[in-house]
Amino acid sequence: MANAAPPPGTADIFPEEARRWRRLEAAAADVFARYGYGELRTPIFEFTEVFQRGLGGETEVVQKEMYTFEDRGGRSLTLRPEGTAGVMRALLNTDVLNGVEQRVYYCGPMFRGERPSAGRKRQFHQIGVENVGRVAPELDAECIAMLMHLLEEIGITGAVLKINSRGVMADRGPAGQLLKDYFAGHVARMCPDCQTRFERNLWRILDCKEAGCRAIVAGAPDYFSAYSAESQDYFARVLASLDALGVKYEIDRQLVRGLDYYVHTVFEVTHEGLGGQNAIAGGGRYELFLPDQSKPVRGVGFAAGMERLMLVQDALNTARTDSAEPPVFLVSLGSAARLENLKLAAALRRRGRHVALEVEDKSMKAQMRSANRAGATTVVIRGDEELKRGVAVVKNMAGGEQREIPLDGLEQVLTEEK
Ligand code: HAM
C-alpha cells in the first residue's frame, strides 16, 4: 500500500469527502454572491515574478516555500502559493487601476513547501475573496463581516477574529524605528530566525512563536501611536463599522501576517478546535505590486483554508454526513432483461435519477446483495417472464413490499418515487 500514497503533504479526496468539499464551495459561492462577488478562475501556475514581486522577496513563502520550475521554453514558473497575486495579475486586464471596483472570489489548490502536519499541507485549498479597486474602511469591515457570515452559515461557532493595522508604508519608518530601538537591546537573546528578522524583516519578530521571543515582544512599545493620524483614523473607522455590523473582534498588536503586501487592516480568524495550526482564515487590505507596474493594485480580501474549515467542523461535529443520493437498482435475470434494463437506466438517468445495475450474469440473490450494498431504496426486477408480460417488479427495500408496474408507467413511477 505504501506505493499508493500520494506525495507528502498532499491527499486524495474520495467521493464521500469530495461531496463535502463541493458543499463547502457551494455555501461560500452562495454567501459571496449576496455581496456581489463572482468567481474568477486563474491559472494554477504563474510567472515566478508575479509572486516574487507581489508577495515580497523577504517573505518566508517566497524565500523558502515556493514550488518553482523552469518550463521547456526556459520560463520560470511557480505553482501558486496563494491566490491574491494571480488574481491581481488577472484584474490588471480590467479597470481596477482606475478605481473601478471588482468583487471576485476563487477556490482551489495552493502549494507551499512547508513541513506537513495536521492542518498544514503542501497542496492545500483556499476559498478566497478580493475586493479590488477602491479604498474605504467600510469595505474592509464588510469583507470581514462576510467572512464571519460564511463561518456562521457553515456551522462554525466559537471562531475568534483578531485584527490589527499595519498602517501605510510611510508609517513603517517611524513605527519601525520605535521597535528597532527596543529590540536592539534584546536581539542577542532572540531565536536565530528573529536575529535575522531584526536585520531583514523586523516586523515579523512580533509574531514569532518562540517563548523567549514572545516574552520580549510582550514588552514592545506601542508602535500604533507612531502611525499617522490618517492611518489611526482609518483603523478606527474599520472598528466602528465592525461595531455597527455587530462583529466581535480582538485587537492584536502582534498580528502582522506573513505576506508583505498588507497595509492598514490585517486580520486572522482562529479556532481552538484546530490545535497548533489555528488560523482558519487570514487577510487584510493590500497594495500589491506586479512586475512592470509602477502603481500597486489596491484591495482588501481574505482566504480561508478549506482543510482547516473542515477540521473545525469535525471538532464541532457540525458537518452532516454526505451520502450520495440512493440509487434505484435494476436487477436483470437473463440477457434480454439486461438490455432492457440498460435502456431503462439511461432513460431514468436522463430524468435525474441515480441508477445502478449489474451488467454480468449474476443470481437474483447476488444482485439483491449488491443493491443493499449500494444503499438502494428501490429495486426493479425483470426477467424473461416480466418482459413477456410487459411489467416490472418494483420492490421497496425499506418495507419489503413488491408491486408489479406496467412498463408504460414505470419511468414515471420511478421518477416520482425519488
Ligand atoms: P494566508 O494567511 O497565507 O493568506 O493563508 C490563508 C489561509 O490558508 C490560512 O489561514 C490557512 O487557513 C490556509 N493555509 C495556509 N497555508 C496552509 C497550509 N500549508 N496548509 C493548510 N492550510 C493553509 C493568504 O494566502 C492571502 N492570500 C489571503 C488574502 C487574500 N489576503 C488578502 N486577500
Give me the half-sphere count of Cα atoms (radius 13 Å) on the Cβ side of residue 279: 15
pLDDT at 36 over 80: yes
306-319 burial, b if ≥16 CB within 10 A, otherwise e?
bbbbbbbbeeeeeb
pLDDT in tens, 75-104: 999 999 999 999 999 999 999 999 999 999
83 lines ligand 1 (CB under 6 A): yes
Range of lowest pLDDT (41-45, 151-155, 306-310, 317-321):
317-321
CB-CB neighbours of 106 under 10 Å: 21
pLDDT at position 58, please? 87
Q: Which amino acid is at 179?
A: L
Q: What percent of the chain has pLDDT over 90?
A: 92
Which numbered atom of ligand 1 lies nearest the CA of 301? 33
Q: Whose CA is nearest to atom 30 of ligand 1?
A: 302
Q: State the distance from the centre of ligand 1 to the C-alpha of 305, rounded, in angstroms.
A: 6
Question: How confident is residue 2, by pLDDT bands cut at 50, 70 and 90?
Answer: low
Classify residue 217 by burial, with Cβ atoms within 10 Å: 0-12, 13-18, 19+.
buried
Would you state the pLDDT for residue 328? 96
> Best mutation site among 24, 120, 124 for ligand 1, i.e. most ligand atoms within 8 A of its Cβ?
124
Instruction: Among 51, 126, 263, 271, say which to mutate for ligand 1: greatest number of ligand atoms within 8 Å of CB.
Output: 126
pLDDT for residue 34 is more than 90: yes
> How many angstroms does the Cα of residue 87 sit away from the middle of ligand 1?
15
Return the pLDDT at 275. Answer: 81
The pLDDT assigned to 399 comes to 92
Q: What is the pLDDT at residue 417?
A: 73
- Give pLDDT, residue 320: 67
Tell me, what amino acid is at 138?
Answer: E
Whether residue 277 has pLDDT greater than 70: no
**Ligand 1 neighbourhood includes 140 CB (under 6 angstroms):** no
Higher-scoring residue by pLDDT: 110, 57: 110
For ligand 1, atom 4, the nearest C-alpha belongs to 282
Amino acid at 373: R
Our answer on whether the CB atom of 307 is closer than 6 Å to any ligand 1 atom is: yes
pLDDT at 319 > cutoff 90: no
Confidence band of 122 (pLDDT split at 50, 70, 90)? very high
User: What is the identity of the amino acid at 125?
Assistant: H
Long-range contacts of 186-189 (CB under 8 A, 24+ apart): 186/216, 189/216
Does any ligand 1 atom lie closer than 6 A to the CB of residue 120?
A: yes
Residue from 21, 51, 105, 110 to probe ligand 1 pocket by mutation (most atoms less than 8 Å from CB) = 110
Q: Which residues pair with 417 in a beta bridge?
A: none
388-408: average pLDDT: 95
Q: Please state, in angstroms and rounded to a whole number, the distance separating the CA atoms of residues 163 and 144.
A: 10
Binned at pLDDT 50, 70 and 90, residue 323 comes out as: confident
- What are the residues facing 47 on neighbouring strands? 77
> Ligand 1 centroid vs 189 CA: distance in angstroms?
30
- The rounded Å distance from CA 55 to ligand 1 centre is 13
C-alpha cell of residue 17:
469527502
CB 38 within 8 A of CB 105: yes
Tell me, using a 6 A CB cutoff, whether residue 281 lines ligand 1: yes
Ligand 1 touching residue 303 (CB < 6 A): yes
Q: Which of 150, 267, 308 to mutate to test ligand 1, by most ligand atoms within 8 A of the CB atom?
A: 308
Which residue type sits at 242? L
Instruction: Of 97-106, 172-181, 189-198, 321-330, give the lowest mean pLDDT range.
Output: 321-330
Q: What is the pLDDT of residue 1?
A: 52
Q: Which residues contact 3 (CB under 8 A, 6 or more apart)?
A: none
In this model, does residue 212 exceed pLDDT 90? Answer: yes
Per-residue pLDDT, 73: 97
The per-residue pLDDT for 418 is 67
Query: What pLDDT is attached to residue 318?
Result: 83
Q: What is the DSSP letter of 254?
A: T
Q: Is the dihedral of CA 96, 99, 102, 106 positive or negative?
A: positive
pLDDT digits over 283-301, tens only? 999 999 999 999 999 999 9
What is the dihedral sign for C-alpha 55, 56, 62, 68? positive
Residue nearest to atom 13 of ligand 1 (CA): 305
Residue of 21, 59, 82 to test ligand 1 pocket, by largest number of atoms within 8 Å of CB: 82
Instruction: Please work out whether the CB of residue 260 comes within 6 Å of at least one atom of ligand 1.
Output: no
Which ligand 1 atom sits nearest the alpha carbon of residue 285? 32
Angle between helices 15-34 and 306-316 (to 10 degrees): 100
Assigned C-alpha cell, 167: 498602517
Q: Which pLDDT band holds residue 211 (cuts at 50, 70, 90)? A: very high
Please state the pTM of the whole predicted model.
Answer: 0.93
pLDDT in tens, 336-383: 999 999 999 999 999 999 999 999 999 999 999 999 999 999 999 999
**Average model confidence (pLDDT) for the chain?**
95
